[in-house]
Amino acid sequence: MERIAVIGCGGSGKSTIAQQLGRALGLPVTHLDAVYYDENWQPLPQDDFAAAQKKLVAAERWLIEGSYAATLPIRLAAADTVIFLDLPARTCLWGIAQRRWHYRGGQHHQDGVFDRITWNFVRYIIGYRKQMRPKVTRLTAEHGPHAMLLTFTSRRQANRFLAEVTGVA
């Protein structure tokens, strides 16, 4: 595992698993929210965002977390491992509630996530498995068939995997 893409719904735990896995494997971690948004929550133009990812995946070793389906093929084509956090909506909603409680809103400096909960974001999370999962699955099959795909459908599975990799029970 030298080039890892961590993908999944908002609130699924992408940032957390990326930080822990990156630390355990000595991989540089990039949080795509920090690349895509500036400190005022203004997005990078799509072409610039794609170019930034192409530069990131050209490195020998990396761990990139974030979904961004429009540019997912860039990461999938270069990854040797894809971790898909395919968690239920209620788990992801609980994840964003915990994040809000912990950070009290605003942008997190360590991972670039902007803790902004809107009804559109909540609807996205609720509909993720029906609307986005098929797209992510298709893109993964098309652009990442060479990569080892690890799909976790619960926090317990993801934590078990982390414990195996990090050696921490």
Does residue 106 carry a pLDDT above 70? no
pLDDT at 7: 97
Ramachandran sector of residue 45 (left: φ over 0; alpha: ψ -120 to 50; beta: rest): beta
CB-based contacts of 57, cutoff 8 Å, min separation 6: 3, 64, 74, 75, 77, 78, 79
- The CATH number covering residue 32 comes to 3.40.50.300
Question: Would you say residue 78 has pLDDT above 90?
Answer: yes
pLDDT at 101: 65
Dihedral sign of CA atoms 122, 77, 83, 116 in order? negative
Whether the pLDDT of residue 98 is over 90: the answer is no
| Cβ(79)–Cβ(140) below 8 Å | no
Domain extent, residue 102, equals 3-166
- For the chain, give me the number of helices (H) and strands (E)? 8, 7
pLDDT, tens only, 1-49? 999 999 999 899 999 999 999 999 999 999 998 899 877 778 999 999 9
- Look at the chain and report how many structural domains it folds into: 1
Q: Coil, strand, or helix at residue 164?
A: helix
Residue carrying the six token digits 């990396």: 62
pLDDT per residue as tens digits for the range 107-162: 555 555 556 667 788 898 999 999 999 999 999 999 999 999 999 999 999 999 99
